[in-house]
Amino acid sequence: MGGPLSAIPGVAIIGCGLIGRKRAASLEGARLLACADAVPARAQELAGSVPGAAAIARWEDALLVPGVEIVIVATTNDALTPVAMAAVEAGRHVLTEKPAARTVAELDRLIAAARAHDRRVRVGFNHRYHPALLQARALVDAGALGPLMFIRGRYGHGGRVGYDKEWRANPELSGGGELIDQGVHLIDLSRWFLGPFTSINGFAATYFWDMPVDDNAFMTLRTEGGQCAFLHVSCSEWKNLFSFEIYGRDGKLALDGLGGSYGVERITWYRMLPEMGPPETTSWEYPRGDQSWSIEFAEFVEDIRQGREPNPGLAEAKAALEVVEAIYRRSGYLSGSRLPTPDSRR
Amino acid sequence: MGGPLSAIPGVAIIGCGLIGRKRAASLEGARLLACADAVPARAQELAGSVPGAAAIARWEDALLVPGVEIVIVATTNDALTPVAMAAVEAGRHVLTEKPAARTVAELDRLIAAARAHDRRVRVGFNHRYHPALLQARALVDAGALGPLMFIRGRYGHGGRVGYDKEWRANPELSGGGELIDQGVHLIDLSRWFLGPFTSINGFAATYFWDMPVDDNAFMTLRTEGGQCAFLHVSCSEWKNLFSFEIYGRDGKLALDGLGGSYGVERITWYRMLPEMGPPETTSWEYPRGDQSWSIEFAEFVEDIRQGREPNPGLAEAKAALEVVEAIYRRSGYLSGSRLPTPDSRR
Amino acid sequence: MGGPLSAIPGVAIIGCGLIGRKRAASLEGARLLACADAVPARAQELAGSVPGAAAIARWEDALLVPGVEIVIVATTNDALTPVAMAAVEAGRHVLTEKPAARTVAELDRLIAAARAHDRRVRVGFNHRYHPALLQARALVDAGALGPLMFIRGRYGHGGRVGYDKEWRANPELSGGGELIDQGVHLIDLSRWFLGPFTSINGFAATYFWDMPVDDNAFMTLRTEGGQCAFLHVSCSEWKNLFSFEIYGRDGKLALDGLGGSYGVERITWYRMLPEMGPPETTSWEYPRGDQSWSIEFAEFVEDIRQGREPNPGLAEAKAALEVVEAIYRRSGYLSGSRLPTPDSRR
Amino acid sequence: MGGPLSAIPGVAIIGCGLIGRKRAASLEGARLLACADAVPARAQELAGSVPGAAAIARWEDALLVPGVEIVIVATTNDALTPVAMAAVEAGRHVLTEKPAARTVAELDRLIAAARAHDRRVRVGFNHRYHPALLQARALVDAGALGPLMFIRGRYGHGGRVGYDKEWRANPELSGGGELIDQGVHLIDLSRWFLGPFTSINGFAATYFWDMPVDDNAFMTLRTEGGQCAFLHVSCSEWKNLFSFEIYGRDGKLALDGLGGSYGVERITWYRMLPEMGPPETTSWEYPRGDQSWSIEFAEFVEDIRQGREPNPGLAEAKAALEVVEAIYRRSGYLSGSRLPTPDSRR
């Protein structure tokens, strides 16, 4: 335990729903050895589709399967922290889905455990690895926009019949609604470009769905230097939408779409000229989908090999959860605190 | 004074810049008798283009030209209230450009004067009369969206070289920056759909331009029922943008563009079906421009003839300015208070 | 034979590939009794998914299964006519995929057989039942465009690796390339709006793919009244495209997309005003997909019940094939003439 | 006569309508000395706006003004050749608007005169110098598309009330309708990319306007190697449209818009990948308008200085007119042949 990673690392996946299966399909250079799910059939189906993988009845046992070096936690939110903690305590490195925990307090326990056991924990803010975001990052780093001023983000979907009866609507399981679900992506992306937020304003509300968690959240986040992220997330957005606009003194980037029902992913660069007037405009589209899950996993393998701190990791998850919690607190939402049982994320 | 309006009302225009000339071109059913401007050549040019119109050296005299029943005030913001007050005191009805005053206190004096002299005062929130807004109003009134939940608005332009040396950058003349300029339109439109705002959050900032007024403002406004208007206005928007999105329980309206450099005006109606999933989608485009100035003026003539309170009028202007002032106050901006000389709006 | 259709008609499907399976999923009000395929596993898979359906080894036997009243022929082009003929000779009504035959001569035999046995034969030009086409038909019928002048059509896809090794690249199996595949749709739609074509110009060519059939065809078709259909079909279109533009004296309809990889289906109506200038513009989008297969099948059931001639039926298929053949003849392509074995359409 | 061009060449403009004035505004590095128009007021207005320029009553005299080295001919089509011929006979170099002549025979006389007097004649196919076309040319020359296969072009506008009473509707003045007006641009652009056309098919028709010239033309042009240009031009297009699509074995370029009422100019590059599927997609937009007139004039100055043959010049105009004439001939249109008087182009 604690030695260098194998050439072909062994992986266990806890939570074999939609997300767990996507993770299993994005493990280039590694091999799935074990998987577990609260619904045994789901684990068996996944294991059956990967040579060498075994479905394990108890998730605690899956962590201990010999050769498992990396544990992917793709459960409902309530189980993310307990499973990740057990994994690091068993000496495994962990890739956990966002938000990594339902509360900051919960996350702090995982942070302590990871530090105590010297294990790497990466948090699945996979949006950073979408092609338009990678292109945005490269353009900003190259100075294409000059100093950044503010960001606008809109992210949402329209749910589906019965959405308010699913696990995300149950605060015990989810820790919250739309803000802790899609909101943490926008918060993380904004912080990635602007830096830490020292001023947090906004509110969450339940406008449409019949559920005790929020379905909309509006945020105005500011850095110490006064830069602003003006963000809205919604599961009453009706027409699926992802829009992320980054403004600098010298230009603007507009990102739209994430593929699939969110529309073709595209980034447009508006470059101001000294004489001002309409900006020079260049667009890139990514109709071939994203490799975000594969890139993210490969990055994690490199984190472990190089002994570097995953980014986004626990610090980034904590920063996002601090925003979430501040807004939930002032909006009158309470998050669940009871002991969870790990079910897979759908 | 106070008798019924003539069949063809006489009009005086104070401020013969870009906006004054647009007003002069939108006076169907009325006739321009007099105009005045701090720059005499501008008044002469306008008067020369309209048979029967005279350029008057002093604006105070233009109000008193026999036959003038309606005064249009299209000056810089500092002169809007003084000129409008003098006009109502001379027994004229007034169509004043938004924001009608630089501060609520200034506006209150005009409100008192209009009441004392029983004159109608309309405020030029012409956006309400753009074709996409008229269509939105009709759809909402017909129940197409069901109960409204929230509105998102984004409105901005990219300025031009030297923008920070123009009158809008001088708080004495303007009363503020982007928020009091384009912001009042978004505030007024949002209030038109959602009703009065009882909670005002947000801030204004000067990110780009070298001027003592704001170039960006971010607002989170809420009604007593919790509906939200989430609004951003900017004169560092780089690519001119008007976007106004209205969400109800049963669907969404997305308005884009205002013609010209803002792009073709368009409204898209997304109608949710009981089975949910992608909404039914219908769009209307208005490539033929807007008649907003003409409709607005015709509405004002009807206001006067029917003795009805103009809407948008002083109450709507006050509601918008209260938002502006609240945000300026908490953002550390101070508005000018010195006596103005009326210059035309460019 | 020849009696009235059952309340719930029995159906056999010959050819259980992609298209056959789509047909099986669009049989509301009917029941699948039998299916057959040159690859037995395909028939078994389809039969296994529909209660009451049986996989039959020989397609000739499938036609004779008691209770079968409608036969759907979804084979490669070479087998369409032989199977359809055998079906009508067995007293069945037939819904055959377009182009219904590889040549006019082949089709004429089917026409004679259908007449001799008094059976209805519908041809699967399903594009007519896409929502944008239905809307176009309704608008044109209501006079929205005034008298029609011309149509432009562009339809194409980019193939896939190995496309030139598939059955469509083999003239024995297909009767031709892109023109007889996607081209017949554009020809049929154009004729539907403009009427019969009395002048046929154009050519087919093989630009890209290594195959003995065409991958592009350019057509200029004219009616007796001089109206024109200007059509291009391509399987080197690279970015999947469906565009169909209908011009009348009073306006234009632009149809784009067919869903899926062709983009969201949309129709835009440009209505000219007497003062000319930019037209009034209304758009409808259909993000929920099309019901064309179901509507088409329901129409066929009505054809049979009411004893009406299917439209599109054999006459429409013949009109399209006459265009195809004229263009192939002058472009130097020869179509296959050998006896086929029925394989399913993929 | 015939010596090297002055450092700041002197220019005369014959025809001071819309196009003549645009030319006058695009003469960087040269100076306007003389102008003439059939309507003297137009010449006087233009001359009055340019220091050093004189309005000359007779166009023949304008050519002879001392210092005039370049003559720009921006008249109606009937006068293009006579004026250009007189100019070259007077030893001037000539930039003439497209189509340079109403017929090939007429143009041949100009070609002979230019050769006899050794003068350069450039023809104003300015579309080649639009930014999207320049970008297309650069991409094609760099091999981005691989070998070219075919081009589709659609170009048109919706006219205006009374369009059929304007000079373009009079064959004596215009030589033809839409085909000789906008059509020559598409023909020239297609030939620029594909090379000479050895097969010309198509027809012109008068569908909408009450005039003796064509309002629509459909073309299928082929090179010796079989590459195809499939082109449609229309002045019953209703919604102004410019679309030019270039297909190569490795990708596609789609050009849309020309600015103004044709929409923002844009080029999209679809690059095929070896694994096929959706292409890589990059777009560039040109919201700042085009510099085509200035670039074209600067190119002409270089033509003269370097003694090189203008391209596009008389050979390119002849190639375009040969296509026009072939299509007019088979469509039953006759072009005017009477002697013209030069009126300016509007």
Q: Note the pLDDT tens digit of each residue in A30-84.
A: 999 999 999 999 999 999 999 999 999 999 999 999 999 999 999 999 999 999 9
Q: Which of A208, A230, A252 sits opposite B149 (nearest CB)?
A: A208
What contacts C330, CB < 8 A, 6 or more positions away? C203
Residue of B265, B269, B285 to mutate, testing the C interface (most C Cβ within 10 Å of its Cβ): B285
Given A160, A232, A281, which is nearest B276 (Cβ)?
Answer: A160
SS3 breakdown of chain D: % helix, strand, coil, rounded to 5? 35, 25, 35
Measured between beta carbons, which residues in chain C are less than 8 angstroms from residue D252?
237-239
With 80 as the cut, is the pLDDT of residue A340 above it? Answer: no
Q: How many CB atoms lie within 10 A of CB C2?
A: 7
Contact assignment for A238 to B252 by CB distance below 8 Å: yes
Q: What is the mean pLDDT of chain C?
A: 95
Is D55:D44 a contact under the CB 8 Å cutoff?
yes
Sign of CA dihedral B29, B31, B37, B41: positive
C270: Cβ contacts below 8 Å, ≥ 6 apart: C251, C252, C253, C254, C279, C280, C281, D238, D239
Enumerate neighbours of C (3 or more CB pairs within 8 A). B, D
Give all strands (DSSP E) within chain B, no chain letters.
10-14, 31-36, 54-55, 68-73, 93-97, 121-124, 148-156, 197-205, 216-223, 228-234, 241-248, 251-256, 265-271, 280-286
Residue D341, φ and ψ in degrees, nearest 5: -115, 135
Min Cα distance C228 → chain D (Å) is 9
Query: Phi then psi for C303, rounded to 5 degrees?
Result: -50, -50
ipTM of model: 0.94
Residue A159 amino acid letter: G
How far is A285 from chain D, CA to nearest CA, in Å?
5
pLDDT band at D230 (very low <50, low <70, confident <90, very high): very high
CB-nearest to C282 from B277, B280, B284 is B284
D216/C149 Cβ within 8 A: yes
Query: At a CB cut-off of 8 Å and minimum separation 6, what does B85 contact?
Result: B109, B110, B113
Rounded distance between C-alpha atoms, residue B176 and residue B160, angstroms: 18
Q: From chain B, which residues contact A within 8 Å (Cβ)?
A: 149-150, 152, 154, 158-161, 201-203, 205, 207-208, 216, 218, 220, 222, 226, 228, 230, 232, 234, 236-239, 247, 249, 251-252, 261, 270, 272, 275-279, 281
Please report the pLDDT score of residue D4 as a whole number. 84
pLDDT tens for residues D136-150? 999 999 999 999 999
Pairing relationship of beta strands C251-256 and C265-271 according to DSSP bridges: antiparallel
Given a cut of 80, is residue B3 above it in pLDDT?
A: no
Q: What is the pLDDT of residues C117-161, one digit of tens each?
A: 999 999 999 999 999 999 999 999 999 999 999 999 999 999 999
Return the closest-CA partner of residue B107 out of B317, B339, B341, B337: B317
pLDDT score at A337: 40
Q: Is A341 a residue whose pLDDT tops 60? A: no
Query: What pLDDT, on the 0 to 100 scale, is given for residue B344?
Result: 65
Size of interface A-D (CB pairs under 8 A): 34
pLDDT (tens digit, 9 = 90+) per residue, C224-277? 999 999 999 999 999 999 999 999 999 999 999 999 999 999 999 999 999 999
Contact indicator for C267, C283 with CB cutoff of 8 Å: yes
Residue D106: both structure tokens together: 């007429």
> Which residue from B154, B208, B230 is facing A218, i.e. has the nearest CB?
B230
pLDDT of residue B339: 38
Strand C31-36 relative to strand C10-14, pairing: parallel
Q: What is the pLDDT of residues C185-210, one digit of tens each?
A: 999 999 999 999 999 999 999 999 99
Q: What spatial distance separates the first Cα and last Cα of chain D, rounded to whole Å?
A: 32
User: What are the tokens at B280?
Assistant: 């039914």
Q: What are the beta bridge partners of residue B202?
A: B219
Instruction: Categorize the per-residue pLDDT at C345 as very low, low, confident or very high, splitting at 50, 70 and 90.
Output: low
Q: What is the pLDDT of residues C53-73, one digit of tens each?
A: 999 999 999 999 999 999 999
Position B211 pLDDT exceeds 80:
yes
Give pLDDT, residue D335: 46
Q: List residues of B whose CB lies inside 8 A of any C CB.
A: 273, 277-288
**Which of these, D121, D164, D178, lies nearest to D300 by C-alpha position?**
D121
Q: Which residue has the tokens 């926009």?
A: A145
Any idea of the CA torsion for D103, D109, D114, D116, to the nearest 10 degrees? 160
Task: Report percent pLDDT > 70 for chain A.
Answer: 95
The number of beta carbons lying within 10 Å of the beta carbon of residue A1 is 8
With 0-12 / 13-18 / 19 or more C-beta atoms within 10 angstroms meaning exposed / middle / buried, residue D48 is: exposed
> Where residue A343 falls among pLDDT bands split at 50, 70, 90?
low
List phi, psi (to 5°) of D28.
Answer: -50, 135
3-state secondary structure chain C: CCCCCCCCCEEEEECCCHHHHHHHCCCCCCEEEEEECCCHHHHHHHHHCCCCCEECCCHHHHHCCCCEEEEEECECHHHHHHHHHHHHHCCCEEEEECCCCCCHHHHHHHHHHHHHCCCCEEEECHHHHCHHHHHHHHHHHCCCCCCEEEEEEEEECCCCCCHHHCHHHCHHHHCCCHHHHHHHHHHHHHHHHHCCEEEEEEEEECCCCCCCCCCEEEEEEEECCCCEEEEEEECCCCCCEEEEEEEECCEEEEEECCCHHHCCEEEEEEECCCCCCCCEEEEEEECCCCCHHHHHHHHHHHHHHHCCCCCCEHHHHHHHHHHHHHHHHHHCCCCCCCCCCCCECC
Question: Degrees (nearest 5) of the Cα angle D155, D156, D162?
Answer: 160
Dihedral, C65, C70, C76, C82 alpha carbons, nearest 10: 70
D166 backbone dihedrals φ, ψ, rounded to 5°: -85, 175
Tens-digit pLDDT profile for residues B147-202: 999 999 999 999 999 999 999 999 999 999 999 999 999 999 999 999 999 999 99
**Residue A264, both tokens:** 């073709």
Q: So what's the pLDDT on residue B4?
A: 84
Contacts of A333 (CB under 8 A, 6+ apart): A171, A176, A177, A204, A213, A214
CA–CA distances in Å: residue B328 to residues B171, B215, B222, B340, D35: 12, 12, 18, 21, 58
Q: Which residues of C160-191 are buried (b: 16+ CB within 10 A; e: fewer)?
A: eeebbeebbbbbbbbbbbbbbbbbbbbbbbbb
**Least CA distance to B154: which residue of chain A?**
A152
Q: Mean pLDDT, chain B, as a whole number?
A: 95
First to last CA, chain B: 32
How close is the nearest chain A Cα to the Cα of B294, in Å?
A: 29
Percent with pLDDT over 90 in chain B: 95
| Residue numbers in B near A239 (CB within 8 A) | 252, 270, 278-279, 281
- Give the whole-angstrom CA distance, residue A259 versus residue A262: 5
Q: What is the pLDDT of residue D199?
A: 97
pLDDT the model gives residue C4? 84
Q: Are A297 and A23 in contact (CB under 8 A)?
A: yes
pLDDT at residue C181, as a whole number:
98
CA A287 to chain D, closest CA, distance in angstroms equals 6
Instruction: Determine contact, residues C53/C47, Cβ cutoff 8 Å.
Output: yes
Instruction: Say if residue B236's pLDDT is above 60.
Output: yes
Tens of pLDDT, residue by residue over D231-286, are 999 999 999 999 999 999 999 999 999 999 999 999 999 999 999 999 999 999 99
Write out chain A residues lying below 8 Å of B281, CB-based. Answer: 239
Per-residue confidence (pLDDT) for residue B27, from 0 to 100: 97
Determine whether the interchain pair C284/B282 forms a contact, defined as Cβ–Cβ distance below 8 Å: yes
Q: What is the pLDDT of residues B115-124, one digit of tens each?
A: 999 999 999 9
Rg (CA), chain A: 20
C104 and C322 Cβ atoms separated by less than 8 Å = yes
Q: Judge whether residue C1 has pLDDT over 50.
A: no
